[in-house]
Each structure stands twice: as C-alpha cells, then as structure tokens.
A and B are shown apart, each in its own frame.
Chain A
C-alpha cells in the first residue's frame, strides 16, 4: 500500500431510507494510487453503494470517506472529488446526456468550465482511447450497446480523472468488446490511473492487482488474485476463471512449475509443448 491512498474509507456505514438492513456496515478500505482493484460480491452486498460513496454521490451515515485526502462529507470538497474520480455505471443509456457522440464526451469538461480548445483536446484523447474517433459526429442513440458503453467510458475519461470507478461497466459488452475494454483499462492503469472495477466476472477480476470481496455491506476478504484463486474463491461461491482452471490442469500434469502463476501467454505456450 502506498503512503497516500487515493481512497481511504474508515468504518463507513450507509443505510438507504426505509431499508431494513444497512447497505454498508463498517467498511474499512484503503486503495492506493495506481492500483487496479476488483470489487466482487453478490447482488446487494454494497459494492455500488461503496462506489457512489467514493464518488461523493452518497455520504456515509457513519464513519468517513476520504478521497485524495478530501473528506467527501464536506460540501466544498465534492467538486474536486468528482473531478478526480470518475464513475461509469452499468447501463450506458442512463448516462448519455447529449445526442451527438462528441457533445456527450464534452459534457463533463464543459461542466468544469474548461476553455473550448482544451475541451476539444480532451474529447479527442478520450475518443481515441476508446476507439470511437470515427463515430464522433454520429447520433449517440444510433450506437450499439458496446459502443454506448465505450461512450460512457469516454465521457468519464474526458474529465481526466486520477481514478476510475466502474460499476459492472462491461455487463453489456460482447466477449470481443469486453476484451478491448479491458485492454483499454490495462493501458490506463499502466499510465498510473487507479481503477476500481465492480464485477461479477472472475475472468475480469483475475486481471486486477487486488481483489476485495464484499458481503452484507462488509469487506469480508481482501488480498491478491493469486491468493484468491488458490481456493478462497470457492468459499464465496465464485466461478473459476478459465485461465486459472488451465493453470491448475497444467500444474497437475507438471507442464508448468509450481509457484507464481504464469501469464496467459506462458500458459498457452506450455499447452502447445
């Protein structure tokens, strides 16, 4: 863990009005700059609520959430927090504001009061990163589900955030679209962006550098993917990702050495041998 965490959540609790149980119940979590964290758990475990708290859309009813050292419960910090942390939701249809692709990407920077030349540069960069340059003058309503999802990501990237919160943002993508989306996230992470990815898919979680499991509004497990897929995932009834299954099979047949799990390419070359 780095010394200055980008998110510091301290015994945070949150209850929705009229709900019997709290959505979050004493969550303690620190996320360092440049980390890629996969947040996993069953429906209703509090993952989305935690993401909204990290984006200052909700304020903890107990405890506190600090984003880059700024207390999210302080009104004057909210704008700075939302500039630094972008949130991409599950359904892109709910977050597209404008009818034209480039106008939608520009929506965030326009809200920040940035000069038009800078907005254009940010829009160009975001469209290029998400592979939507050729669609910039197209109607947002005419895009496919996957393209809309990439547009939602482009809109978030145009804010040039330090951290990206993804709330099941790959759920509407086909396998090919998901791969390119994850490759894009990998590139952003290599550039130093912190990524918090909420997901139900273990083949996505396996790409993260850290996995956090939530259940009943609490953090119940926090560790490395290697530890998680070494049997821990079974405790929480998650599926085994194909590459882990392959590794295990190759290990049984002594085709790979025991110890650190090799990358997918190494597994495939071992398989070819």
Chain B
C-alpha cells in the first residue's frame, strides 16, 4: 500500500528557479503550446526532441528528472491500455502473429507514439503543477479566463475551487492512508482474494473518506467565511501577476522549439518513417 506516498499529482515543489519565477499565465500558455505540439507529433524520433526538452526543463526548474518523470506514473496503466489496443487493432502489414492477433508495422508506430504522447502530456502538466503554487496557478487561470466574465462565467469562483482542490490533494492522500492503516490494524485485508472481493474490501475506506471530505468541506467553508472570503467579491493579491520580458522570451523560445519539432516531424523524420515502413 505504498502507492499513496508515490503519487505526486498537484504537488507543488517550492523553489526559486527560472521556471518557478515565470508568470503563471506564461506557464499555462506554454503548457497549452506543448500539448498542441505533442498532438501534432507522430513519429518516435520526434519524441527524442521532447525528451531533450524535459532535460532542459529539469535543469531550469531545479527539479530532478526522476521526480519529473514520476509525475507520469499515475497514468501508466492508461498508457499500457492505449499501447495494447493500438498495437493489436491497427490494420497494416503484420510483423508478429499471436494466434488471432497480429502486431503490425503501423500498429507499432501508432501504439508507441500514442503511448508516449499521453505520457508526455501528463508529464508536462506535472511540470506546470510542480513549479506553480496552486494560488499562483488559480490567479493565472483567473486572469486568462477573465474575458469570460463578460458572459457572467464565475471565473474567480472557478479559480478558487481549483486552488482548494489542489491544496487538498496531499491532505486527502494522507487521510486515505490513515484510514487504510486504521482498517488494516483492525484486521482488514486489501491484498488477497479475487477482483470483486478486493473491490468490496475498499468500501470501509471509501465510506469514512466521503464523510471526512464533506466534513472538511463544511469546516473549510466556515473558516474561509470567517477570514472575510466572499465568493465573487473582488480580491487583491500579495504578489500581483506581472508579465515581464522574461516571460515573453521564454514563450517565444518554446514556440520556436515546438515549431521546429513539428517541422522535423513533418519533413525530416518523414524520411526515416518511409524507410521503416518499406522494410
């Protein structure tokens, strides 16, 4: 039951690195650009460029590459399913036959690029969350969504909801871990039996967890009210967002990189893919 401590979704790692100090709006836009670039990447060689980018991000953020890569761990199962489905169900020239199923050349290319794309999407989102405090993230998001306020979209409430959700991720993992240990100490067994039995054994964890979450939400709402929070009311900021030349430069560099990656994918690496398909 060590998985609780290994999850790092939404975990901000405080720091003063170049990436930490970038405006959150810049980081959110950069992540959207990266995701767009990833969706346009189709060949394996292209991902070598994205790996180089991860190394650059690791250096600029002061966060270990292993920690960054670990943020992709929660979706590994999903990646595996994607890979398996694409590997066996993509039509094309067969490479290996496994009974009624066959692995095709096209399947191998699609499966690997889909799997890597999914993994990189989560890892890039992970870098954004690791280098941006939830408060700064919600401020950035609120500012980016501010034009929607004209349509009476509750941008500040949405941003606050996101801040709280991110803030409570580690707390909820801690609480789940605590309930889990308490149930184990009372003789609960989560690791033996069939799938249904194991699923049923998690009910004693989910019920107290739900009760706790609602209790927490109620207490937090009262505490926020007592600290003068009024939903939708204008708020000032201790660190108001300031877009600087550094943010523009960072965004420009990243855009050039993504365009270069797309260019390589479309034209340079095409030669490799044509060769691979011909073999």
Return the contact of B234 from the options A79, A113, A115 (Cβ within 8 A): A113
Question: Is the beta-carbon distance between A95 and B220 smaller than 8 angstroms?
Answer: yes
Question: A137 contacts which chain B residues (CB < 8 A)?
Answer: 14, 16
From A103, A113, A159, B133 is in contact (CB under 8 Å) with A103
Given known A-B contacts A57-B225, A159-B227, A123 and B216 have beta carbons under 8 A apart: no
> Does the CB pair B227–A106 fall under 8 Å?
no
Size category, B interface: 20 to 34
Interface pair B226/A87, CB less than 8 Å apart: yes
Q: Does B135 contact A (CB under 8 A)?
A: yes
**Which of B117-125, B147-155, B164-172, B259-267 lines the interface with chain A?**
B164-172
What is the size, in residues, of chain A's interface with B at 8 Å between Cβ atoms? 42
A113 to B239, CA, bound (A): 13
Q: Does A93 reach chain B (CB closer than 8 Å)?
A: yes
Q: Which residues of A contact B12 (CB under 8 A)?
A: 99-100, 139
Distance in angstroms from B40 CB to nearest chain A CB is 33
Report yes or no: B167 in contact with A110, Cβ–Cβ below 8 A: no
Do A94 and B216 touch (CB < 8 A)? yes
B223:A111 contact, CB within 8 angstroms? no
Q: Say yes or no: is B186 at the interface (Cβ < 8 Å to chain A).
A: no
Given A110-B235, A111-B235, also A94-B223 (CB < 8 A): yes
Q: Mark B230-273, 1 if CB is under 8 A from A, else 0.
A: 10011111111000000000000000000000000000000000
Q: In the docked arrangement, what's the CA distance between A241 and B73, Å?
A: 54
- Tell me the nearest residue of chain A to B173, going by C-beta: A141
Cβ of B211 under 8 Å from chain A: no
Cα A103 to Cα B239 in complex, Å, equals 9
Structural contact, B14 and A103, CB atoms closer than 8 A: no
Instruction: State which of B166, B225, B233 has its C-beta within 8 Å of the C-beta of A99.
Output: B166
Known pairs A97-B224, A98-B167, A99-B167; A120 contacts B133 (CB<8 A): no
Q: Is A217 an interface residue (CB 8 A)?
A: no
In the complex, A216 has a CB within 8 A of chain B: no
A86 at the interface (CB under 8 A from B): yes
Q: Is the CB of B14 within 8 A of A89?
A: no
5 pairs, A vs B, C-beta closer than 8 Å: A86-B226, A100-B14, A100-B133, A103-B238, A108-B228
Interface residues in chain B, defined as those with a beta carbon under 8 Å from any beta carbon in chain A: 12, 14, 16, 133-135, 163-164, 166-167, 170-171, 174, 216, 219-220, 222-230, 233-240
